[in-house]
Structures are given as C-alpha cells and as structure tokens.
Amino acid sequence: MCPCNSCWGRKPLVLKESANTLLLFGATGDLAQRMLLPSLYGLDLDGLLPPALRIVATARSDLDTEAFRTAAEGALKRFVDADYLKDEAVARFIARLSYVALDASDIAQYGRLAEAVGSTEKGLAIFLSTAPSLFKTTIAGLQRAGLAGDNVRLALEKPLGTDLASSRDINDAVAAVFPEERTFRIDHYLGKETVQNLLALRFGNALFEPLWNAGHIDHVQITVAETVGLEGRVGFYDGTGALRDMVQNHMLQLLALVAMEPPNQFSATEVRDEKVKVLRALRPIDASAVETNSVTGQYQAGAIGGSAVPAYAEELGQPSGTETFVALKAHVDNWRWKGVPFYLRTGKRLPQRQSMIVIQFKPVPHSIFASKGAALKANKLIINLQPQENIRLLTMAKQPGLDRDGIRLREVPLDLGMANAFADTRRRIAYERLLLDLIEGDPTLFVRRDEVEAQWEWIDAIRNGWAAKAMTPRPYAAGNWGPSAAIALTERDGVSWHE
C-alpha cells in the first residue's frame, strides 16, 4: 500500500456485494450489548440484512453458542424498545448467531475461528472492537487463518492510537493485510441522522450555502457535554483525557463537515477528500498559541441533577493530571473561513448531556428598525445531535401589536424537530447505518487514514504545547460548564457560549 497521502482513496470506490458473514469481535462487551446487537436486530426486523447473513460472535468469555444466544436475547430485552420486540423477529435474529470463545492474543486459536466462519468467497465483514494493544496480533491471526482475503473488509472501532506515531503504527499493521479500500474506521457520530442532515441542510438547500462563509458567519461553536464521570472507564480514560477521547475524533469530524467545501457528489472519495482538506487547513495550536487558545480542566466534587458526585481524583483513587474538560479556539486557514473562530468545548460532569453545533451569523449591516426602538439579534442556527436530534433557526419577527410606542421585534425559533417531521419513521441507532454500510461495503461514512493522521497531527501539537508551557488542568466543580477560563476564552472575543 502506497504511504503517500495523495494516493489514499483516489481510486473510485465501487459498492461491493453484501457480505454473507459478519464476524463480531468483543461480542460480550458493553458496546455489543448496548449498541451492536440491538442495531443488528433492528436491521433484521426491517428486512435490511441479507437473508443468508450469518453473525459469528467472538470474545474471551467461555461460552458456547447456546449460552451466547441466551445472553444476546437478554441484551435485546434490556436495550430495545418493547414495541419492537417481536417474538418471531427475535427468534429469527437469534438463529443467525453463533459463538466462538477466543483469546485474541493467541494466534494459534484463530484457526478455530476460521472453521466457524467458513469460506470467505461470498464476503466477510469483520467488526473489530478490541484493545489497541491487540490490533497487531489480531490482524496477524486473521491473516494466518485465511480471514483476510480479497472478499474480506475490516471495521476498526476507536481508539486508533494515542498520538500520530502510534496511529501510524496501527495503520501500517492494518494496511499490510487490509488495503485502504477494505478498511473501515468507525466514528459513530457520522452515523447520526442529524450529522448527515448537516450535509443535506448545506448542500440540498439554496438558502444556506451562499451564506456559509466568512462574509456572513461570525463564529461556530461545537459542544459535546457529558454529565457522567468515569463510569467504568478508569483504565482507558485516565491514560487518554478529553482531548484525545472526544476532540481528536468526534469533534474534528463535526468541524470538518461544517467547514468542508461542496463535494462534486455524495461518494466516499469526494466527501472524504473535502474533509481532509479542512483538517489540513487547521491552524496549529502549538506552544506559541496554546495558552491563549486552549483551556483544560478537571472536575472536583459537586452536584449533577441534585445529587452529589465525587471529584475525578476520588473516583480514580489517586491524583491525576488528566484533563476531563477542554475548550479550544480553532481557525481554518482558507478563503471560506478566514477570520472565523471555531470554538470547541467538551467535558465530563457538566450540567447537561448535549451535543450541538451552533452557527452564529453576522448581524444585518443596518437596522431600519433602530429609530423605532427595536433591537435586533443576529440569526443563529442550532443543530442538536443529542439527546434530542433537531435543527433550530433563530430568526427575528415582529411582536403583534399596534406599535404606538414603537416596533418590538422578538427572536422566534423555526424548528425542524426530527421526531415530529418524521414521526412515521423509526429513529435508528447510529450503529445501524454503519453496520449496514459495512456489510454492504459502502465506506462513505467511515474515516480514511489521511483524515485520522491529519487529526492526530493537530492534536499532538496541542499536547506538546501543554507540556512545553507546563499547563495543568484547572479545577471546576461538577455541575458547572468547566473552568471560568473557558468563559474568558470566548468572552474576550465578545462571544458567549450557547447554553
């Protein structure tokens, strides 16, 4: 595989035939129980899975197929809405499942896995959700067992490294066996309906795209807020932190979708080409800029939803320098976005769970209503990703009345609530689309290697800057929106975070 960035993904990517076998690693883990099995069941319920598709599950747990099927049925009952649990559909889905216990670190055991999978001639899709330390061994085991041929494609769940060097190491190991066109890197945010609707909003409507530039947009905010703390992720999170856990993947992908140029067509190559241009245009936040363009924090004891919660160090059981909050001021240095700041904010133990993109437009150049006492606010487009998916445009409207004391204008929302607009359509888990695309071989909503490495290059500069300036996380009480310095990050530009 050529390592040159200019070669990645340049060949047209043709939709392949659907795989007839899905190999699911980590099948007894939390992700599989909460997301993957319910997603696959939902697809089966709606007749979207190939009729002959078999699902071979594997994990370390010492189970047989019957025990795994029982566990899978229990997961469906816990995580699927009861209205969608049909006895006949559950039985049909469970019959697709088989299970092979596997120690992924032991290459000798992969032969047993190959026996369960059988021939790959009619297509095999592999979903790999495992510790990064096992990637190389797993890839080697799959190759040795004959599970890496031309009809096999591999999906990789994050994290893919901890920095640019380790990411390249993992990607090199994968590329030695699975070429780029058969490698599907997952970012589940790209499977969310509202994220995809961002593209429809921009490129399917004449209303927005002419205004989608520095001439009309004042700034952009992207917030991914969590109310939870460590929640069983102690081993992973303390070695990762908010910057690498959320910004490096989810938030930079959202930024790229907001800032990208219109692709020629909605295809894997065209969309990902435009995203990587944005990521390469990000202005580095290095040692010279990190103190003025970044804020880090770590939550202390406080209250969430009226309930007391402990400090991060208390949950961890020891002091730590890991950031649980980060706020950044970023710039995309190209013609479209010259001078437009992108404010990014993410953290744990914040007041509410929400993911949103806010497009703040510039005010009208002259208010004809000022002499009548009316105050104007600039239009704002709010794209909510979770917990509710909806798009809201804040516009100015005249307040009803005879206006004897002057004209009064009020900010009025125009809402596109996804649940209301598409009330007759079942809302899908993001993994449903991604798993179906993997099975069918469509890589459009998966991340290409050059995207990942451009993201890591930008993140590494920030982390190196923190180290050079000896920056440590500032304390913030759980239940607040991070350290006060995060407020100052925007307010010195005359901007307030949207909350």
Consecutive 10-residue runs of the chain (499 residues): their mean pLDDT? 40 62 94 94 94 95 95 94 91 96 93 94 92 86 93 89 92 94 90 83 89 96 94 77 94 96 90 95 96 97 92 92 97 97 97 94 82 78 86 79 69 72 65 93 92 96 97 96 96 92
Q: Which pairing describes strands 54-59 and 97-101: parallel, antiparallel, or unpaired?
A: parallel
In which region does residue 311 sit, left (phi positive, over 0), alpha (psi from -120 to 50) or beta (all else)? beta
| Residue 334 burial (CB count, 10 A) | 15
- 62 φ/ψ angles, rounded to the nearest 5 degrees: -85, 80
- Identity of the amino acid at 207: L
Closest by alpha carbon to 326, among 247, 231, 227? 247
Query: What's the pLDDT at 16?
Result: 59
Structure tokens at 493: 């530009």
Quote the CA–CA distance of 481 and 497 in Å, as a whole number: 10
Return all residues near 470 (Cβ < 8 A) that are at least 6 apart.
none
Which are the catalytic amino acids?
250
For residues 439 and 423, is the Cβ–Cβ distance under 8 A? Answer: no
Q: Which long-range contacts (CB under 8 A, 24 or more apart) does 146-149 make?
A: 146/114, 146/120, 147/23, 147/110, 147/113, 147/114, 147/117, 147/120, 148/177, 148/178, 149/120
Predicted model pTM: 0.89
Q: Quick one: angle between helices 135-144 and 110-117, nearest 10? A: 60
Three-state SS annotation for the chain: CCCCHHHCCCCCCCCCCCCCEEEEECCCCHHHHHHHHHHHHHHHHCCCCCCCCEEEEEECCCCCHHHHHHHHHHHHHHHCCHHHCCHHHHHHHHHHEEEEECCCCCHHHHHHHHHHHCCCCCCEEEEECCCHHHHHHHHHHHHHCCCCCCCEEEEECCCCCCCHHHHHHHHHHHHCCCCHHHEEECCHHHHCHHHHHHHHHHHCCCCCHHHCCCCCEEEEEEEEECCCCCCCCHHHHCCCHHHHHHHHHHHHHHHHHHHCCCCCCCCHHHHHHHHHHHHHHECCCCCCCHHHHEEEEEEECEEECCEEECCHHHHHCCCCCCCCEEEEEEEECCCCCCCCEEEEEEECCCCCCEEEEEEEECCCCCCCCHHHCCCCCCCEEEEEEECCCEEEEEEEEECCCCCCCCCCEEEEEEEEEHHHHCCCCCCCCHHHHHHHHHHHCCCCCCECHHHHHHHHHHHHHHHHHHHHCCCCCEEEECCCCCCHHHHHHHHCCCCCCCC
Q: 339 to each of 251, 283, 334, how far by Cα in Å?
A: 20, 11, 9
Query: What's the pLDDT at 305?
Result: 86
Q: 418-438 burial, b for 16+ CB within 10 Å, e for fewer?
A: beeeeeeeeebbbbbbbbbbb
Closest by alpha carbon to 446, among 430, 458, 462? 430
Quote the CA–CA distance of 85 and 42 in Å, as a whole number: 9
Q: Which pairing describes strands 390-398 and 54-59: parallel, antiparallel, or unpaired?
A: unpaired
Q: Taking CA 65 as the corner, what is the angle to CA 59 and CA 69, rounded to the nearest 5 degrees?
A: 90
Domains located in the chain, CATH noted: 21-185 (3.40.50.720), 190-426+448-491 (3.30.360.10)
Q: Which pairing describes strands 390-398 and 409-417: parallel, antiparallel, or unpaired?
A: antiparallel
